Chain A
């Protein structure tokens, strides 16, 4: 099973809403990542978790709040987003940080902020 599952697939939220994106993997991977991808652009790294601890925060605004409740789950909590935050949000995982060249991506959550 080389699957990273993201829910929901699509999300429309208002600027005053609070919502969460979820990511799950059962490959025993200990590194998990959040990326943001705008149309016709490559993915941009947002956060990296290693062994459930936040390892990298790429200066992401505080309206994005990651959480890693256990080794299989990664959440991204959203609050007071702006329309320019509309994008495809991708989760990925790898065996650990040293194996990040072999990272597996989920199918993404397409977020629209209205």
Chain B
């Protein structure tokens, strides 16, 4: 099974509302990252949170990490149409491995 699993798989909200996406993982990690992917495009790095951090903010983004539950959440406040994209969490594979392990992603749609 996958290291990272996002929930929900798809989310549709009205512009201005907040969007929350969750990610669960299975093994110990050094850090967790969130990426955004617009349709047909590459990935844009949003935020990295290390295993000794519990919360991190970047503009309208807020990421939490609960290592005891092996879960993370990404909150986008005051959503905009331009936030429409797929969002992926990615974890390192642990044990010094450099590769990232991605979940299936959450497809977020912001309705005007």
Q: Do A and B bind each other?
A: no
The residues of B with any CB-CB pair to A shorter than 8 Å are none
